[in-house]
Amino acid sequence: MLPVTSLLAALAAIALIGLSLAVSLARVKAHVDIGTGDDARLLRHIRAQGNFVEYVPLALILCGLAEYRGAGPGWIWTLAVLIVIGRASHAAGLLAGVHPLRAGGMLATFAALLTGAAALLAG
């Protein structure tokens, strides 16, 4: 069943589509098919998408394993909320050039991963 992990995976899929569309649109605007073409805006979009892809799969694995193993709902929901807030904050901060928002997003992401690890180690 894994209802929290399923919800988190669905939200992640929607977010990834949004980030991917933003990269595609930035590529069109910059007239760049491959790479960044020295376009800072395109690079920010590519890194927002890439950073999402680098962290979210592990968070989903941790959430799914913890939920499957019967970790308490506090562990599961804390991980889920932290990864959603963290990834949204990081992407928004990176795209807007707001460093504190980006840094806060990374801290929330790290906290989500540590929460997932702790839930697995505790159970």
Each residue's pLDDT tens digit, 22-76: 999 999 999 999 999 999 999 999 999 999 999 999 999 999 999 999 999 999 9
Tokens of 40: 């800072």
pLDDT band at 123 (very low <50, low <70, confident <90, very high): confident
Q: What percent of the chain has pLDDT over 70?
A: 100
Q: Does domain 3-122 have CATH number 1.20.1260.60?
A: no
Structure letter (DSSP) for residue 49: H
Determine the residue type at 108. Answer: A
Per-domain residue ranges of the chain? 3-122
Each residue's pLDDT tens digit, 87-98: 999 999 999 999
Taking the C-alpha atoms of residue 30 and residue 77, their distance in angstroms, rounded to an integer, is 40
Mean pLDDT score of the chain: 97
Q: 3-state DSSP call for residue 34? A: coil
pLDDT band at 103 (very low <50, low <70, confident <90, very high): very high
